Amino acid sequence: MSMLEIRNLTKIYGKFTALDDLSISIGQGELHGFVGPNGAGKSTTMRILATLMPPTSGTALIENVDVCRNPRRVRELVGYMPDFFGVYDRLKAWEYLDFYARCYGFSYRERMRMIDQLLALVNLSDKRESYVDALSRGMKQRLCLAHALIHDPHLLILDEPASGMDPRARAEMKDILRQLKEMGKTVLISSHILPELSEMCDSLTIIDHGKLVFSGSVEALSRRMNGNAPLEIRLLNEGQVEAAVPVLKEFPGVSGIVLTDAQQLNVSFDGDDEAAALLLKTLLLRGAAVLDFHRAPMNLEKVFMEVTQDD
Ligand SMILES: Nc1ncnc2c1ncn2[C@@H]1O[C@H](COP(=O)(O)OP(=O)(O)O)[C@@H](O)[C@H]1O
Ligand SMILES: [Mg+2]
């Protein structure tokens, strides 16, 4: 059973279509990245999942519970961290969590135990007595994450939790996400920066202008994007170029050969992995000493720009 099933979700604000027939499925325990440029519809999707706003049409199921039909039950299953949160006057970190824990009706003993655990999880134990408005942005974000975890939800929806963080704070967030995964939580996390998520997520969805561009594993994305990446072929020495070039020129699928330095070739190649393996074998059989043979590494920033081009 999937943890989250988004079905033909559409949201129209006035005359503007912010989400256009979006369907995504996320498995239990997955750490799923939700990527798209600003205005793509990420926050809109997440607000609908958190039952803060109804869709225009379509729906989403969380553990088979419909967000439109049974929002109360969905709220028990979902922990939501918004992209924007207000300021809190004269509240200490622990009091902030205590306030929400009281809303859920936990006893004093339960609350004190839970607050200690949550503060430890988000690395804020030493800020227990600090006032919330005196915390750094990254700390406030982590406190909000602790808040989203109070009722022990199965699915966490985190709207751009790493935006505006420095590398150190991002590493800390990454570590917290890893712990959540170990706890068995399913996480949907958004960002407008693809590389930021691809390194920490199991799977990804990319949307643009409210439409699905890609949804699947990080490997599947790499494979799809890497399919057309040029081959970088490094030869043992300059002398090998003479042996290699004629083979390349007559090989099906090779459309361009550029000598990038004395012993390295950059080859445009329109063939799958099997064809690439055959090309390597042919080069070797025809006497070209190949030192290194690989697809040019995927530049995620570039991929993102390509898949989310302006229309
Ligand atoms: N309440 C609203 N009324 C009208 N348009 C909105 C509203 N909320 C968002 N939008 C528009 O919908 C689009 C998607 O917004 P949003 O979901 O916030 O995107 P993202 O989170 O990916 O940046 C944007 O063009 C935004 O301007
Ligand atoms: Mg947003």
277-295 mean pLDDT = 96
Answer for the pair 306, 240: CB distance below 8 angstroms, yes or no: no
Cβ of 56 less than 6 Å from ligand 1: no
How many angstroms separate the CA atoms of 3 and 23, rounded?
A: 14
Give nearest CA residue, ligand 1 atom 3.
13
Q: What does the pLDDT read at residue 244?
A: 96
Residue nearest to atom 16 of ligand 1 (CA): 41
What is the structure's pLDDT at 300?
65
Confidence bin at 28 (pLDDT 50/70/90): very high
pLDDT of residue 57: 98
Quote the ligand 2 centre to 15 CA distance (angstroms): 19
Our mutation pick for probing the ligand 1 site, out of 6, 11, 16, counting the most ligand atoms within 8 A of Cβ, is 16
The C-alpha atoms of residue 107 and residue 105 are separated, in whole angstroms, by 7
Closest CA to 164 of 282, 59, 84: 84
* Angular region, 30: left φ>0, alpha ψ -120 to 50, beta rest: beta
Residue closest by Cα to atom 1 of ligand 1: 13
Residue nearest to atom 27 of ligand 1 (CA): 39
Q: Domains for the chain: give ranges and CATH numbers.
A: 2-217 (3.40.50.300), 230-295 (3.30.70.100)
Confidence of residue 221 (pLDDT cuts 50, 70, 90): confident
Taking the CA of residue 36 as reference, the ligand 1 atom at the shortest distance is 22
Say if CB 48 and CB 128 are below 8 A apart. no
Q: What is the mean pLDDT of the chain?
A: 91
Instruction: Tell whether ligand 1 has an atom less than 6 A from the beta carbon of residue 191.
Output: no
Q: In what order do the strands lie in the sheet with 254-261?
A: 254-261, 264-269, 231-235, 290-295
Mean pLDDT of 28-41: 94
Per-residue pLDDT, averaged over 299-309, amounts to 68
Mean pLDDT of the 25-46 span: 95
Residue 41: closest CA among 18, 12, 59: 18
Distance 2 CA to ligand 2 centre (A): 24
**Predicted confidence (pLDDT) per residue in 63-95, tens digit:** 999 999 999 999 999 999 998 776 677 899 999
Q: What is the pLDDT of residues 244-279, one digit of tens each?
A: 999 999 999 999 999 999 999 999 998 888 999 999
Q: How many C-beta neighbours within 10 Å does residue 118 have?
A: 23
Query: Tens digits of per-residue pLDDT, 114-132?
Result: 999 999 999 999 999 999 9
CA–CA distance, 9 with 206 (Å, rounded to integer): 15
Task: At 215, give phi and psi (nearest 5°).
Answer: -145, 125
Q: What is the mean pLDDT of residues 90-105?
A: 93
Backbone angles phi, psi at 157, to 5 degrees: -115, 110
The answer, yes or no, to whether any atom of ligand 1 lies below 6 A from the CB of 108, is no
Reported pTM: 0.81
Looking from the CA of 178 toward its CB, the CA atoms found within 13 Å total 8
Mutate which of 6, 13, 52 for ligand 1? The one with the most ligand atoms within 8 Å of its CB, which is 13
Dihedral angle at the C-alpha atoms of 236, 238, 242, 244, nearest 10 degrees? 30
227 Cα: distance to centroid of ligand 2 (angstroms): 31
Does 49 contact ligand 1 (Cβ within 6 A)? no
For residues 201 and 227, is the Cβ–Cβ distance under 8 A?
no
Gap from CA of 182 to ligand 2 centroid (Å): 27
Which residue type occupies 39? G
Distance, CA of 18 to CA of 55 (rounded, Å): 10
* Contact 82 CB / ligand 1 (< 6 Å): no
**Per-residue pLDDT reduced to its tens digit, 148-204:** 999 999 999 999 988 777 888 888 888 999 999 999 999 999 998 887 888 789 999
Residue 281 has pLDDT above 70, yes or no: yes
